[in-house]
Structure 1
Amino acid sequence: MTEDKSAIRNAATVIVLRDRLTEPSILMGQRGAKAVFMPNKFVFPGGAVDAADEEIPLAAPMPELCRERLNEKSEPGLQTALAAAAIRELWEETGLILGEPGTWSGAVPEDWQGFASMGFRPSADALQFVFRAVTPPGRPRRFDARFFLVDANAIQGDLDDFSRASDELSHLQWVPLDRARDLDLPFITEVVLAEIAARVSNPEPPATVPLYLHTEEQSLFLQLKGYPMPDAD
């Protein structure tokens, strides 16, 4: 079957923030020169949602407000798949684990076997939905990317050990937040960095989540508000 390159794929991107109150830095790597999408650019870990991601048993879900905002202007029921994709891509591209100690029940999907072998189950409660962007028309690949911020304190193990990472990203490194724009970045990454810089001292979810939406006719900058679920009686 031929891939439909015009199709927009759901994707998840993870911004890991380290030492946010002292010397904030973020985890980035460089895409290969032969990559179809954004070659040579420095990016955050991330990638497309796989079909199996929505069936991944999370040890803990994302915060409810983030789930509600993910559901806004989106096909319903993607929250678990997006959270799982974010955790899986972080593991595959950096070797870092966002999860809780525990064993899996039943068969472990192939893409998750390395993660499970480390003795952890994926946990999404530290993920904070902070940005969403749709790739403009005319690009070789198009994604509806959700950006998640996670504090490095939620990562299991050694933050400087990238020995289990795949070769998809090279030059993995913690980049000081105030120097990240010195790198060769995609435009949308620069936009997201500005949002993160404005929020670095505030661990609470943003008041709204920016949505940078491109259609054939126009580019829109919208805000996703979501709404808190009512307290249980």
Structure 2
Amino acid sequence: MNAKQRQTFFSRLQAQNPHPTTELNYSSHFELLIAVMLSAQATDKSVNKATLPLFKVANTAQTILALGEDGLREYIKTIGLFNVKARNIIKTCQILIQQHNGEVPSERQSLEALPGVGRKTANVILNTAFGEPTIAVDTHIFRVSNRTGLAPGKTVGVVEKQLLSRVPKKYQKEAHHWLILLGRYTCVARKPKCQQCVVADLCES
């Protein structure tokens, strides 16, 4: 996909959805961090179902820490890997209180130092909470990037690097959300809905 095609690709996605955002429900940077940590190998729908009652009783580092690991586990036990996630979230809350006054840091290094927070999660927080033009490459974005020819690569790291260099600057902040939504609802894994796709004529496959 050449530069002109990439410009057209994102201009169409923008026209279709001018203000894309995450489908995770949150009302603060901390709630977003917890939701994204819980979303690993889980659907946004399942995470929202669990965080709705959780955030009503505990939506700060202090209040979740007060629940303790066992208390937190009761709220998130419907989500995959909930034992590991509960452990990591409690440790993360401890670090946030001890090192960041209970607030979510806006620096990549500090985010990735939190238990259970890898590069992908950090990218989501930096983009969605702090408006940085980062792109968290999940399975949807990886598939879309390779299938369309937008940013082909054999690894997540290569695809992320390709996207950061190929997505036109004016679209970089929202590109993450457009590509996830495209992969989640249109460019699906088994039977892509090409007839409904606004960028089908630009797609290499």
TM value normalised by structure 1 = 0.26
- Highest Rg: 1 or 2? 2
